[in-house]
Structure 1
Amino acid sequence: MGILKSETFDNNAANASGRFYADERPVENGQSALGALTIAYDANSQSYTITTAGRTGTFAPANLVVSGSADLIEFQKIGATSESLTLTKPGTTGALTYKYVGGGAWERATLASGVLDFTYDPFTYGAETTDSLVPRSGTGLYAVSLVGARAMEAPFAMAGSGQLQADFLNGSLTSSGVLTSIDVDTGLIKSIGIFFGEAAMSSGVNNFSGNFSMDDGKRFTGSWSGRFYGPAAEEVGAAWSLRSADGEVAAGYMLGRQDATLEGTNMALTQLDYDVTFDHRFSQLSYTDNGGGMAANPVSLRSDAKLGYTKATDTYLYADSARSISTSFAPTDKVVSESNSALTVYKMTGTDGITYKLSLNKPGAGNPTITLTYASFGHWERAQSAGADRIDRWFAYGLRTNGFQIPTGTGTFSGIIRGTAALMNGGQTYSLSGTSSFAMDFGAGTFTGSLNPIGTSLANGATRDFGTFAFDRGAIDIDAGLSADIVGGGKYLGFFEGALYGPKATEVGGTFGMQTENTDNGQTPSANAALLNGVIVGTRTGN
């Protein structure tokens, strides 16, 4: 803000172009990429000169027109090749008016014999944060707005909003939100999509760059680069570019300012800085507890529930609204005698007089059983006296891989099993341990693998190897969800439901429910047949 002096601004920019026809065929020769650009302001002539991709244009006060937007100023030149330059106005409030950062776009259109050649060059510029003053600790939350253009059967405008979170300590940032494509001639919305960007910050330099993606029913991939603006990184600006597999392209800019009202995203389970609710699918075994590790009438169930965490009180809430379950576990509910370096155990008594127990796996390198950063698991129990109904529920939760972050190629994972089992005809119950493995084909969206559950009898302490079972029809969905049948001897025995976790899909977690014998045709299970319910968590071990 204020009176500008002559200056050539540092900036981040992109270039997009394409050829369009009157018959509205798909864009021809669509191109989009980040690019080098020069934006220079001359205080004497009050003019801007833009140079990029071998082209130069100068825009003076004589070229000013009414922009039609309170947030933008616009210059126009009409001729054989018509040009316009739009720049955001300075200000302290509003989606596109900022004190330190500005955005702009230079457009060129040549129309001849019904053929339109169009170029679009968006950029951000302004009073950038000095390299030494870019924060290197803490977190920054920014509300962001996006402006751009998209080449489909014609050039269309794009507008969006969302938030950006900068992890200054670890030098990374992410941004996500909504990005809409609009026909400016009719005002009609062509599509509404979601965008996601991830970037690494340069060490010691005010700059970040990384991958940028969008999906509005069609998947776009690309890149973005930007920097922080203002004396203390109060604002942010970036240019982005996108391309789809069928040749559509898009490009634009992003502007944002810090906003303390935004709700941040936890970057790892080892440090929960923000309140969070983890949705999950659970696997449940309920039965009549006859005491002494013996049970009757076992029933298996799978469904949805939530694990919530409140930072201010360090409290967990386990809730299942469909079954009127809501239990809260505070630090005073920790059971020191049952907690250890692998698990934190809580117990509380509800208003119904029933005791509830929550056991949570501890993330981080201090866990001697498995080191997890993004995925974890829990065990929720309704514990009552002998002869009463018992509910035993397992669930996986964590910081799920964004669908845009699913890697290419293949990956192998190994993991552990935890769970509960009971004989189908009644009798002994077991605590489950064991191992599992996964072979992911990320490109094909499929996986195979196996699990080998081991039971320890709660009646007599004896160990039982239930066998090795395979994952069949394993599928990876576009949101990083996992599903598979569990089979043995070529027959269906149960299910696995889970997800990939972490920004690079480095961990896996999910729940399973199965029986050791197939009874699809009404067979009576043998005396040794068992129901198994539990959780699997694992880490990536190779390609």
Structure 2
Amino acid sequence: MVTESFANLSARATANFNANGKTNGTVANQTGTIRYDAVAGSYTLTGRGGSITFTAADIDASQSSPGATVYVRKNSSSNVDSLTITNPGVSGRFTYQYVGSAFWQHTQISNNSGSGTLDAFVYGMPSAASAVPRTGAGYFDVDLVGIETTPTGPAALGGSGGAVVDFAAGQVSIRGTMNGVYTGGDDNVFAAEGTVSSSANSFTGTFRFSDGAEFSGGLQGAFFGPEVNEIGATFNAAAPDGRVAIGTIMGRQGAYGNSRFSGRSLDNSQVFTVQARRLDFTTATGAVNSSVVGDFANQTLSSETFSIAYNAGNGFYQMTAPGLSTGVYMPLPYGSNMDYLGDLFVVPTVQTWSAAGYFQQLTGGSAGQPLRYRLDSIVYGMPTPDASLVRTGDAGYLLSFTGKVIDNDYANALLASGSGTLSVDLGSGAMTLKGDLQLVEDYSIAGRARVSKAAALTGSGMLSSSRNAFSGSLSFGEIGNYSGTFDGSFFGPGAEEVGATWSASDGSDRAVGTFLGVNDPSVLETGIKFQDLDRLTSFQTVTMADGFEEGSTITYDPTTGTYTARLAHPYGVSSGTYTFDPAHATSSSASRTYYRVETADASVTGYISKFGDQNPVIALSYMTFGDMAVEVDDSPNGSIHNFFVFGLNTKAIDRPHAGTASYSGVAYGYGSVQQLGYVGAVSGQSRLDADFGAGTLTLALNLNTSEAGPRSLPQYSFAGSIANDGFYGNTASGHFQGDFYGPNAAEFGALWSVSDATLPGGPTNISGLAVGTKR
């Protein structure tokens, strides 16, 4: 080192101690200087308390360490000055290349009392003001070193953490843990927030921690090194009981930025700047667990720039937004009824490169004033670079929705969640949005059920021709006529994900939320018809044989016109897999192709219906069906009919969740009707009525025998329920199961079994299939 006077930041504490175990003190920032004399090897410190020089002869080797050198000057047995100064270094705790800390402690002891002063300095080679970034963000791993006064004298403080600096917003947030003097341990949290000067190399703010009482005070700091390599600050804090604390914070640049998420957190610190959708409203009784309908007022929607800074040192987020005092929050999961807590940050969904969140601030409520809510919905993450966004072809995304609806027809907020799809024509930029929202009242008190509604959401939008940005309009109903807008972008290196915020209005009521999505090519297959298949495709389905269902896989190869199916055998014989190709076709009609397959131990005969609008019996675009009779050699139970339906199932996200639909079609089966003395095939008409909002349906069959003079059977009607993977139903006379096929549940297919022992003349046992199209 050479002789040099260092620019520095300084703080001073004074304290008194007495024999009654009491202490009181004061703290404040001050102007001070540190000068190093290379010839004498001495440090001269100047502060509010005067000036003092420490030389090499004052070094106390017993108290020094690799991280710091301690100088002691005993003016008398009761009057001592000491200097602790950190050593330079490029790694490790407390040793830095461009910034250092110094503590000058003066102690005066008498018989019944003591007094002293503590001066903390941060000094070094500050960065030029022009070198301090005014855009972007950075992170510093920091160390804290300080002193806290106690009734018995000063006690050391030490800790570590992280500082996130949002240079664009001019904000710095420091969080970490330190040892406690009163509480013990090393997990006491310290926190500081500051504002970075827009032109100079400096920041100022507040500092706080808790140790048997709440300490609070000031913070002043700067950046050090030619490229803002390090950070340094002094702090001072006082507690109501008279104790004071003083110290320094130093740090060097740490890992910043992330390539992806790790659960709800991130591996490294990062600052995200996003466009938020904001909803403000007031209520006298709250938006959670209220019993008063019509209490929401002053609802407004707006957009604003929102900054969130993640600090990897402690896993907390700091929020910076217009009208919002800086605060830090641990990310919470969605839907856990915590809104009564007041300010909180909820992260409902995290993907690989994107995350959704909403911030809530709750104020007011005292002295008869209404509660004031502020909700900000955000999407953040690692957006796809503009240049990496493909501009040809199509893309589809599976979506998850979250949000809140504030509607005066209900006593509490409605939590919105659901699934959907986003289809994008990357060439034209046209977007189609579809989803199903589940709206559930934010209510958890026993005594009544929560309101629960299902609403279909639709929308359309456009992708920017030059930027990774899109916007559009949306609407949903069931609880009103909500309409609004959405905007967002793609995330991940190759647009693997998508995210957007949305808001909507219905009169004076408002809603706000987000949706995230993952690229999934199957979304684009929603409108594909059976005749459009161009590659080998497998269908997971079920066969119905003699009233029993059995899982099956049917494959179709459109290049050869070949089907392969796993079929049930007569009772007591394991099922088998058979191939039906043109070579096994025995005949063909306008509606069916008939097959016969002979193996070493079995004979299979039957048909598969022809798909497409040229079928004169029933024109099915997204599915087909068949009946194959299997006869196994040496089986005492004869042959068994396998009925099956298969095709392009309606995806759960594309299935209606509101409204009703009716379907008409055909039904085929095989069995015995002892009342008529008949054993053989039956056929007729089918009708299915579905209530998608209620999740219920009814299947009706009108069947006739297949004779030269057909005879009618009684009408059979089955009531059932719609599930995520299809529909099903059971009655006293039989059961059925099936699914919807094509976009928006355009067609249906079902397998059914009738077992009616109440008829005179003997029971009826028939099983078969039913298919139909929407009327």
Q: TM-score, normalised by structure 2?
A: 0.39
1:59 corresponds to 2:54: yes
**Cα distance change of structure 1 residues 172 and 427 upon mapping to structure 2, 3 Å threshold:** closer
Q: Which structure has more RCO (C-alpha within 8 Å, separation ≥ 6)?
A: 1
Q: Structure 2: how far apart are the matches of 1:167 and 1:331?
A: 18
- The answer to whether the 8 A contact 1:278-1:307 is kept is no
* SS of residue in 1 equivalent to 2:179: strand
**Cα distance change of structure 1 residues 462 and 53 upon mapping to structure 2, 3 Å threshold:** closer
Equivalent residue, structure 2, for 1:79:
75
Q: Residue 215 of structure 1: CA displacement?
A: 2.1
1:196 corresponds to 2:194: no
1:70 corresponds to 2:66: yes
Q: Residue 68 of structure 1: CA displacement?
A: 3.8
Give a deviation string over 1:86-123, Cα, whole Å, max 9, x none: 11000111110011100110011111113221211111
Equivalent residue, structure 2, for 1:372:
none
Q: Structure 1: how far apart are the matches of 2:454 and 2:211?
A: 47
Q: Structure 1: how far apart are the matches of 2:246 and 2:72?
A: 20
Alignment partner for residue 202 of structure 2, among 202, 207, 214? 207
Q: How does 1:364-403 map to 2 (within 5 A)?
A: 379-381=416-418, 392=438
1:133 corresponds to 2:186: no
Q: Structure 2: how far apart are the matches of 1:427 and 1:224?
A: 50
**Cα distance change of structure 1 residues 393 and 87 upon mapping to structure 2, 3 Å threshold:** farther
Equivalent residue, structure 2, for 1:259:
254
- The answer to whether the 8 A contact 1:192-1:216 is kept is no
Q: Residue 179 of structure 1: CA displacement?
A: 2.2
**Cα distance change of structure 1 residues 112 and 176 upon mapping to structure 2, 3 Å threshold:** same
- Structure 2, unmatched stretches of 5+, are 257-266, 276-306, 318-329, 338-344, 359-380, 385-395, 407-412, 421-435, 456-475, 483-775
1:458 corresponds to 2:494: no
Amino acid in structure 2 at the alignment position of 1:171: G
Equivalent residue, structure 2, for 1:34:
29
Q: Residue 201 of structure 1: CA displacement?
A: 1.2
- The answer to whether the 8 A contact 1:144-1:257 is kept is yes
Amino acid in structure 2 at the alignment position of 1:168: F
1:231 corresponds to 2:251: no
Equivalent residue, structure 1, for 2:92:
94
Equivalent residue, structure 1, for 2:149:
151
Q: Structure 2: how far apart are the matches of 1:39 and 1:391?
A: 65
**Cα distance change of structure 1 residues 198 and 112 upon mapping to structure 2, 3 Å threshold:** same
Give a deviation string over 1:479-518, Cα, whole Å, max 9, x none: xxxxxxxxxxxxxxxxxxxxxxxxxxxxxxxxxxxxxxxx
Q: Structure 1: how far apart are the matches of 2:346 and 2:206?
A: 33
Q: Residue 131 of structure 1: CA displacement?
A: 1.4
Q: Residue 241 of structure 1: CA displacement?
A: 0.3
> Which is higher, the Rg of structure 1 or of structure 2?
2
- The answer to whether the 8 A contact 1:315-1:331 is kept is no
**Cα distance change of structure 1 residues 246 and 71 upon mapping to structure 2, 3 Å threshold:** same
Q: How does 1:110-121 map to 2 (within 5 A)?
A: 110-121=108-119
**Cα distance change of structure 1 residues 19 and 457 upon mapping to structure 2, 3 Å threshold:** same
Amino acid in structure 1 at the alignment position of 2:353: T
Equivalent residue, structure 1, for 2:746:
none
- The answer to whether the 8 A contact 1:358-1:379 is kept is no
Q: Residue 22 of structure 1: CA displacement?
A: 3.8
* SS of residue in 1 equivalent to 2:17: strand
* SS of residue in 2 equivalent to 1:135: coil
- The answer to whether the 8 A contact 2:138-2:253 is kept is yes
1:359 corresponds to 2:401: yes
1:313 corresponds to 2:353: yes
**Cα distance change of structure 1 residues 282 and 9 upon mapping to structure 2, 3 Å threshold:** same
Q: Residue 457 of structure 1: CA displacement?
A: 7.6
Q: Structure 2: how far apart are the matches of 1:202 and 1:191?
A: 33
Amino acid in structure 2 at the alignment position of 1:27: T
- Structure 1, unmatched stretches of 5+, are 285-303, 319-328, 333-345, 349-356, 363-368, 370-375, 384-389, 395-416, 432-455, 464-543
Q: Residue 38 of structure 1: CA displacement?
A: 1.4
* SS of residue in 1 equivalent to 2:331: strand
Q: Residue 160 of structure 1: CA displacement?
A: 1.1
Q: Structure 1: how far apart are the matches of 2:450 and 2:53?
A: 84
Give a deviation string over 1:427-476, Cα, whole Å, max 9, x none: 99487xxxxxxxxxxxxxxxxxxxxxxxx9828x599xxxxxxxxxxxxx
Q: TM-score, normalised by structure 1?
A: 0.54
Q: Structure 1: how far apart are the matches of 2:383 and 2:13?
A: 55
Q: Residue 20 of structure 1: CA displacement?
A: 1.2
* SS of residue in 2 equivalent to 1:94: coil
- The answer to whether the 8 A contact 2:80-2:106 is kept is yes
Q: Structure 2: how far apart are the matches of 1:74 and 1:102?
A: 14
**Cα distance change of structure 1 residues 377 and 141 upon mapping to structure 2, 3 Å threshold:** farther
* CA-based RMSD: 4.2
Q: Structure 2: how far apart are the matches of 1:216 and 1:377?
A: 41
Q: Structure 2: how far apart are the matches of 1:219 and 1:181?
A: 12
Amino acid in structure 1 at the alignment position of 2:269: G
**Cα distance change of structure 1 residues 430 and 260 upon mapping to structure 2, 3 Å threshold:** closer
Q: Residue 195 of structure 1: CA displacement?
A: 1.2
Q: Structure 2: how far apart are the matches of 1:248 and 1:126?
A: 30
Q: Structure 1: how far apart are the matches of 2:442 and 2:454?
A: 11
- The answer to whether the 8 A contact 2:143-2:250 is kept is yes
Amino acid in structure 1 at the alignment position of 2:331: F
Q: Residue 11 of structure 1: CA displacement?
A: 0.5
Q: Structure 2: how far apart are the matches of 1:201 and 1:306?
A: 28
* SS of residue in 1 equivalent to 2:268: coil
Q: Structure 2: how far apart are the matches of 1:377 and 1:198?
A: 35
Equivalent residue, structure 1, for 2:597:
none
Amino acid in structure 2 at the alignment position of 1:282: G
Amino acid in structure 2 at the alignment position of 1:21: N
Amino acid in structure 2 at the alignment position of 1:7: E
Equivalent residue, structure 1, for 2:170:
171
Q: How does 1:9-20 map to 2 (within 5 A)?
A: 9-20=6-17
Q: Residue 265 of structure 1: CA displacement?
A: 4.8
- The answer to whether the 8 A contact 1:193-1:217 is kept is no
**Cα distance change of structure 1 residues 316 and 330 upon mapping to structure 2, 3 Å threshold:** farther
Percent identity between matched residues is 28
Q: Residue 224 of structure 1: CA displacement?
A: 0.7
**Cα distance change of structure 1 residues 359 and 84 upon mapping to structure 2, 3 Å threshold:** same
Give a deviation string over 1:314-343, Cα, whole Å, max 9, x none: 36699xxxxxxxxxx9999xxxxxxxxxxx
Amino acid in structure 1 at the alignment position of 2:438: D
Q: Residue 283 of structure 1: CA displacement?
A: 6.2
Equivalent residue, structure 2, for 1:541:
none
Give a deviation string over 1:163-188, Cα, whole Å, max 9, x none: 001111221111011122349xxxx9
**Cα distance change of structure 1 residues 31 and 381 upon mapping to structure 2, 3 Å threshold:** same
Q: Structure 1: how far apart are the matches of 2:131 and 2:71?
A: 35
Q: Structure 1: how far apart are the matches of 2:481 and 2:138?
A: 54
**Cα distance change of structure 1 residues 153 and 308 upon mapping to structure 2, 3 Å threshold:** farther
Q: Structure 1: how far apart are the matches of 2:58 and 2:382?
A: 65
- The answer to whether the 8 A contact 1:227-1:237 is kept is yes
Q: Structure 2: how far apart are the matches of 1:125 and 1:238?
A: 9
- The answer to whether the 8 A contact 1:11-1:38 is kept is yes
**Cα distance change of structure 1 residues 128 and 330 upon mapping to structure 2, 3 Å threshold:** closer
- The answer to whether the 8 A contact 1:177-1:195 is kept is yes
Amino acid in structure 1 at the alignment position of 2:165: A
- The answer to whether the 8 A contact 2:148-2:156 is kept is yes
**Cα distance change of structure 1 residues 308 and 251 upon mapping to structure 2, 3 Å threshold:** farther
Amino acid in structure 1 at the alignment position of 2:142: V
